[in-house]
Amino acid sequence: MDTAASELCHEGKYDLDFKSPPGSQVTGPYWCTLVHPGGCFPTMVSVEDPFDQDDRDGWKQFLTQADIQVVDNDLTATNPKLIARAAKLQARSCLLLKVNQIRLVTKSIRARLAQSYSWGVMVSHRSGETEDTFISDLVVGLCAGQVSPSIPC
């Protein structure tokens, strides 16, 4: 499940009803109870971007309590420097690797360094992608083990 929490976070609070001002804002710790397995989604096995990329406390709290795969997209944006920073925070368990975020295949291959931190790697691309099979080749070539394909609407 992709929570896209960065889209909900404003001034350090998560707005659960952002389309209806003034909304329903909750703190990071309360948000953690909502997205935590056993909370609102008891059968969840994988969650993407459960917290805003700047909510380091939220990431740390969640990771100490969650025993599911935590997929990180916004926190690192497939950038090797940001991956190394996230590794120091221990704010992940799986990297979402998107070639379009880093723009070069060679840089995407360098982003594979996430595996050296014992992270999983899930290769993806932006929605609306063509029927090009390159994404499958990249998954196999990087031994990624996981893919998040786009599907036509």
Predicted confidence pLDDT, tens digits, the chain (153 residues): 787 888 888 888 888 887 777 768 888 888 888 877 666 666 778 888 888 888 888 888 888 777 788 888 877 777 788 888 888 777 567 888 887 777 778 777 877 788 888 888 888 876 655 667 788 888 888 888 888 876 655
Domain end residue (candidates: 70, 97, 127)? 70
- CA 82 – CA 102 distance, rounded (Å): 11
- Asked whether residue 82 falls in the same domain as residue 152, the answer is yes
Q: CA-CA distances (angstroms) from residue 84 to 36, 65, 70?
A: 25, 22, 16
- Asked whether residue 43 falls in the same domain as residue 108, the answer is no
- Asked whether residue 89 falls in the same domain as residue 144, the answer is yes
- Asked whether residue 94 falls in the same domain as residue 27, the answer is no
- Asked whether residue 88 falls in the same domain as residue 150, the answer is yes
For the chain, the domain total comes to: 2
* Domain of residue 80, CATH code: 3.40.50
Domain end residue (candidates: 70, 96, 119)? 70
Longest Cα–Cα distance of the chain, Å, equals 48
- CA 60 – CA 64 distance, rounded (Å): 6
The residue to which tokens 């989604």 are assigned: 41
pTM over 0.85: no
**Range(s) of the domain holding residue 12:** 1-70
Strand, helix or coil at 57?
helix
